[in-house]
Amino acid sequence: MGNNINKYLPLTESTAYILLALNEPLHGYGVMQKVKVISENTVNIGPGTLYGAFSSLEEQGMIVKAGETDRRKMYVVTEKGRQTLDEHVRRLEILVKNRPSRGTS
């Protein structure tokens, strides 16, 4: 399983945030808005980038369709997507742990 996931890593910042946002079913615009909020305005996803990410994530089995509202398809993260995101976050945590501390004494 581990190797299976490693080929997708590291995720781009946008992809990581899209997976994070899709822990609940959302449509495209919902994802764009949520990412803006949860990233504290550090990540802004354009529609071209979002559409491309939806297509490849669906193809890779990391997200699936979860119904429709007002003719807009909603997606939600799958178990595979969640595992990939977890592994991505674990790597980032290792990075953070290794960050040299500055003037804390």
Partner 1 sequence: MSKLTRSRWFWAWDDEKEEKWLTEMANNGWHLKNVSFPGRYTFEQDAPRNMSYRLDFFTDRKRREDYLQIFADAGWEHVAQYGSWQYFRKEAGPGEEPEIFTDNESKVKKYQRVIAILVPLTPIWIIMINRLNRRPEIFFQAVTFIGFLIMLFYIYTMLMMLRRVSRLKRK
Q: Does 37 bind partner 1 (CB under 8 A)?
A: no
CA–CA gap between residue 50 and residue 24 (Å, rounded): 17
Q: Which residues contact 17 (CB under 8 A, 6 or more apart)?
A: 35, 38, 39, 43, 45
Q: Does 12 bind partner 1 (CB under 8 A)?
A: yes
We find the least distance from the C-beta atom of residue 53 to partner 1, in angstroms, to be 7
Q: What is the DSSP string of 23-71?
A: TS-EEHHHHHHHHHHHTTTS----HHHHHHHHHHHHHTTSEEEEEEETT
We find the least distance from the C-beta atom of residue 71 to partner 1, in angstroms, to be 7
Question: Which one of the spans 1-9, 46-54, 79-87, 91-99 is the region binding partner 1 (CB under 8 A)?
Answer: 46-54
We find the least distance from the C-beta atom of residue 39 to partner 1, in angstroms, to be 12
Question: Which one of the spans 18-26, 69-77, 78-86, 87-95 is the region binding partner 1 (CB under 8 A)?
Answer: 69-77
